[in-house]
């Protein structure tokens, strides 16, 4: 701002006239100046929008909670439109007492509030063979982090009474995709949640309204939306989503299966290709997200020279198990090229691998479970590009 900045010296319209009154937007919407902060898809990625994905604008967000309207969407058969009064949740199979719950029934069980990330197993899948998509929204945006309110799955299974040979739970969705996944009983009884609220309000239709399953730390595909049935069985069901899809083809032709846990991962959200440095050299806030399906993030290291030297970043905000963590590194940018990287370490001692280490272990045929270190090339003019270092 110069000496005669009209924004300082002159009265502005918003200062002169009354603004909109209460009830101008009974359900609030973001400022019109934030209209560019939206979920985006990649048109060439899928043949139709009903079986497709859009991405969370991670580059434009801060803190650890994803606003509901910006949580990425992944549907295999479009968004089911279900009136809560018409929704039922059935428990059948190896139980003492098969049960059917209405939404009203579910509201009478003791409930819990928990913050979890959800990451699609295919997040970063396009980056296996080389740097491809130019923006963390696209490379890492199949993740969101929400506070869910719901009833522990264990409570509902206990109500039905699991028979001694009940070792697996099949979760089934009510959408046109009829998504089904087998979940081992140990996990079902540990921390799974049958949720009806997200960040305090009802689940959004895109996120499974009126009911979804949360399978904390495990791949997003298991978090069945529009949850309508839980079957208890003695072995996995070998559904499409655990045979043809969501398996990891290795270099030797064998495939890893039932790779549930999302391993530690992180990404610098700013600066990033969609968030270039606009202010020139001097103080620069490097900001990013880290998460692990194993538990809490213990440490995040940031490198500005492509992984030669590392500095421990500052984790700020709550550190919940199996939730996003926000980190910052406040640096004095000298205006030179940077090769920005971050690497997460979780409380169980698991580190994020380099891209080359991941490929050495898992080959180049995979789509799912790419948790490798991301590199952003920051140029002298402040623009940023998705690159790889060898
Ligand atoms: N549940 C049903 N019923 N149908 C679906 O298509 N997609 C799954 C999972 N649950 C899906 C589903 C996949 S692959 C992911 S990654 C997550 O939901 C995405 O959740 P979100 O749309 O809330 O981001
Ligand atoms: Co998915």
pLDDT reading at 318 higher than 70: yes
What's the pLDDT score for residue 48?
92
What is the average pLDDT across 62-76?
Answer: 98
pLDDT confidence of residue 107: 98
Q: Whose CA is nearest to atom 17 of ligand 1?
A: 220
Span from the CA of 107 to the centroid of ligand 2 (angstroms): 28
Of the ligands numbered here, which is closest to the C-alpha atom of 76?
A: 1
* 80 Cβ below 6 A of ligand 1: no
Read off the pLDDT of residues 144-197 as tens digits, 9 standing for 90 and up: 999 999 999 999 999 999 999 999 999 999 999 999 999 999 999 999 999 999
Protein residues placing their CB within 5 Å of the ion ligand 2: 74, 120, 220-221
Q: What is the 3-state secondary structure (H, E, C) of the chain?
A: CCCCCHHHHCCCHHHHCCCCCCCCCCCCCCCHHHCCCCCECCHHHCCCCCCEECECCHHHCCCCCCCHHHCCCEECCCCCCCCHHHCEEEEEECECCCEEEEHHHHCCCCCEEEEEEEECCCCCHHHCCCCCCCCHHHHHCCEEEEEEEEEEHHHHHHHHCECCCCCEEEEEECCCCCCEEEEEHHHHHHCCEEEEEECCEECCHHHCCCCEEECCCECHHHCCCCEEEEEEECCCCCCHHHCCCCCEECCCCCEECCCCECCCEEEEEECECCECCCCCCEEEEEEEEEECCCCCEEEEEEECECCCCCEECEEECCCCCCCCEEEEEEEEECCCCEEEEEEEEECCCCECCCHHHHHHHHCCCCCCCCCCCCEEEECCCCCEEEECCC
Nearest ligand by distance to the CA of 178: 1
Q: Is 216 in the pocket of ligand 1 (CB under 6 A)?
A: no
For residue 182, report the distance from its CA to the centre of ligand 2, in Å.
15
Supply the residue whose CA is at minimum distance from atom 21 of ligand 1. Answer: 73
The domains of the chain, with CATH numbers, are: 74-256 (3.90.420.10), 265-387 (2.60.40.650)
Q: What is the pLDDT of residue 2?
A: 58
Ligand 1 atom nearest to CA at 144: 24
Q: Is the pLDDT of residue 353 over 80?
A: yes
Q: What is the interface pTM, i.e. ipTM, of the complex?
A: 1.00
Query: Measured from the CA of 173, which atom of ligand 1 is nearest?
Result: 3
């Amino acid at each position: 701002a110069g000496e005669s900045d009209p924004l300082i010296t002159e009265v502005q319209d918003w200062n002169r006239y009354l603004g909109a009154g209460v009830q101008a937007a009974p359900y609030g919407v973001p400022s019109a100046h934030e209209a560019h902060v939206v979920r985006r898809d990649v048109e060439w990625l899928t043949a139709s929008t009903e079986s497709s994905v859009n991405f969370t604008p991670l580059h434009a967000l801060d803190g650890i909670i994803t606003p509901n309207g910006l949580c990425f969407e992944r549907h295999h058969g479009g968004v089911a439109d279900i009136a809560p009064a018409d929704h039922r949740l059935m428990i059948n199979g190896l139980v003492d007492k098969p049960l059917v719950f209405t939404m009203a029934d579910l509201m009478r069980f003791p409930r819990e509030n928990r913050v979890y990330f959800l990451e699609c197993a295919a997040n970063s899948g396009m980056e296996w063979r080389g740097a491809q998509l130019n923006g963390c929204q696209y490379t890492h945006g199949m993740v969101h982090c929400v506070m869910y309110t719901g009833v522990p799955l264990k409570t509902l299974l206990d109500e039905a009474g699991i028979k001694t040979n009940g070792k697996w739970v099949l979760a089934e969705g009510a959408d046109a995709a009829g998504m089904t996944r087998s979940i081992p009983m140990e996990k079902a009884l540990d921390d799974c949640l049958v949720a009806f609220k997200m960040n305090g309000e009802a689940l959004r239709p895109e996120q499974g309204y009126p009911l979804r399953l949360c399978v904390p730390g495990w791949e997003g595909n298991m978090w069945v939306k529009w949850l309508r049935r839980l079957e208890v069985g003695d072995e996995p069901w070998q559904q499409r989503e655990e045979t043809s899809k969501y398996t990891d083809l290795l270099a030797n032709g064998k495939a890893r299966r039932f790779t549930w846990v999302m391993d530690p991962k992180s990404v610098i959200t700013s600066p990033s290709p969609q968030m270039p440095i606009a202010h020139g050299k001097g103080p620069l806030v490097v900001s990013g997200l880290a998460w692990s399906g194993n538990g809490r993030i213990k440490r995040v290291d940031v490198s500005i020279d492509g992984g030669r030297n590392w500095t421990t970043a500052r984790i700020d905000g709550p550190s919940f198990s199996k939730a996003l963590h926000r980190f910052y590194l406040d640096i004095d940018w000298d205006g030179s090229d940077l090769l920005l990287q971050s690497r997460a370490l979780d409380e169980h001692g698991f580190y994020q691998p380099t891209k080359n280490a991941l490929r050495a272990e898992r080959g180049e045929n995979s789509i799912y479970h790419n948790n490798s270190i991301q590199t952003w090339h920051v140029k002298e003019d402040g623009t940023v590009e998705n690159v790889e270092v060898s």
